[in-house]
Amino acid sequence: MKKTLLLTTISLMSLISFSQKKTTTSAVINFDAATPLDSLPKAVNKTVVAALNLTNGEVAFEASVKNFSFSNPMMQDHFNGENWMNSEKFPKATFKGNIKNLDKINFTKAGKYIATIEGELNIKGNVKPVSTTAQINVVGKSIATSAKFIISLADYGIELPKIAAGKVSENPSIKVTAKF
């Protein structure tokens, strides 16, 4: 009887802790390096893995660099090349962080919440601290999130060639959306 009760308790605790972490394999990242001179340096990646821990506020995402899709194939080649993302050597970009105002967000109550996010963004092996705000929309058991980061390409070892001057933003935006 004691063994049955112990096993039941452990199983229930595992289920409770598991249900507090939400994951998806279909989060989306929109990369936008457009400028007034060129509106084409934009890409989307629809196969991003994202995780959200409702208990401790940990957030994370991981994107395969080669899965960013540009409308112009030549831009996609440049993006994956050695001078830009060098996707052969650095196949993934990651973010790991935390919701700093977790006490202001009720994941069990429908509503829109603003979260303060701080963490580290890893691009090309360069890890830099980043912070932003995210919108969290809770509807029933569904949680939708959206956050936007503005980064400096130089911080991540990406140098624009002189030919791209003015055509590609040195401070592109990265918008991450996920539905859990």
Segment 142-168, tens digit of pLDDT = 999 999 999 999 999 998 776 667 788
pLDDT digits (tens, 9 = 90+) for 108-146: 999 999 999 999 999 999 999 999 999 999 999 999 999
Average pLDDT of the chain to the nearest whole number: 89
Whether 157 is in a domain gets the answer yes
Whether 149 is in a domain gets the answer yes
Whether 13 is in a domain gets the answer no
The domain tally of the chain equals: 1
- CATH number of the structural domain spanning residue 148: 2.40.128.110
Whether 10 is in a domain gets the answer no
Q: Is 107 exposed, middle or buried (0-12, 13-18, 19+ CB in 10 A)?
A: middle
Whether 58 is in a domain gets the answer yes
Q: Residue 93 in contact with residue 122, Cβ under 8 Å?
A: yes
Structural domain including 87 reads: 29-179
Is residue 19 pLDDT above 70, yes or no? no
Q: Which whole-number Å values give the CA distances from 97 to 3, 60, 122, 173, in the listed order?
A: 39, 6, 11, 18
Residue 70, token pair as written in the block:
């540009």
Q: Look at the pTM and tell me if it is higher than 0.85.
A: no
Q: Which pLDDT band holds residue 12 (cuts at 50, 70, 90)?
A: very low
In this prediction, residues 2-10 reach a mean pLDDT of: 44
Whether 16 is in a domain gets the answer no
